[in-house]
Structure 1
């Protein structure tokens, strides 16, 4: 692995987990219960639950490409948003969080070990590193919305503190 690949991989890992730029994504979600996850707010078009499900949808889509598979492109971006506003119960919600964070772990593992400038067979013009960067930025964007919703609801910071406070 080249020094450039290794340096970019380290930067991707930091972006994927939320290092430096904002709270670590794994700290911002686990304490949210099903009620909070499904709460609606007049200023926001989505619930925390819908945001996490949407993030997970695209994260998995991009990871499949990175792994050399060809996932089915949705007919519309609306397919990546759940229609239900909240989870069935706390157990289902915790499983949603676990599945989402597991995808981040996989992305981190790939960033640490893959040749990041490798082209993707089913995504012309894109590389492994490019899609991992896309996962990081997409998750970061929506994590900001989750933090904002938590602030609206008086549920910020999470246990152990939040950055920014």
Structure 2
């Protein structure tokens, strides 16, 4: 692996897990209760649960490309948002959190080991590094929304503190 590939990979790892620019994703989610996850806020179109499911949908979609597959694109972007506002129970919520974090770990593994400028046959014009950057930026964007919703519901910071304060 070239030095520049390795440096870009390490930058992607930091973006995927959250470093410097925002709280690590693994610290921002685990203490959220199913009740908080399903709570709606006036003027905000989605619950934390819906944001998490949407993040997982696109993360899974992009990871499929990295794994050599060609996922079926949704008919509409709206198809990537669940209708259900809340998880059915604690087990479903924990599975939702676990699934998203496992996907982040898969992306991190790719960032550490893949030739990042390699094109993706199933996605013309895109590279492995580009897909990983997309996962990182999409997750960061929506993680910011989750943190804001937590603040609005008085559920911030998480145990151990959060930053920015």
TM-score exceeds 0.5: yes
2:23 matched to 1:23? Answer: yes
Secondary structure of 1:93's aligned partner: helix
Matches within 5 A, 1:77-96: 77-96=77-96
Number of equivalent positions: 165
Matches within 5 A, 1:9-158: 9-158=9-158
RMSD: 0.5
Structure 1 alignment gaps of length 5 or more: none
Greater share of strand: 2
C-alpha deviation, 1:43, in angstroms: 2.3
Partner Cα distance (1:79, 1:132) in 2: 22
Q: Which runs of 4+ in 1 moved over 6 A?
A: none
| 1:103-145 CA-partner distances (Å, limit 9, x unpaired) | 0000000000000011001100000000000000000000010
Partner Cα distance (1:36, 1:160) in 2: 19
With normalisation by structure 2, the TM-score equals 0.99
With normalisation by structure 1, the TM-score equals 0.99
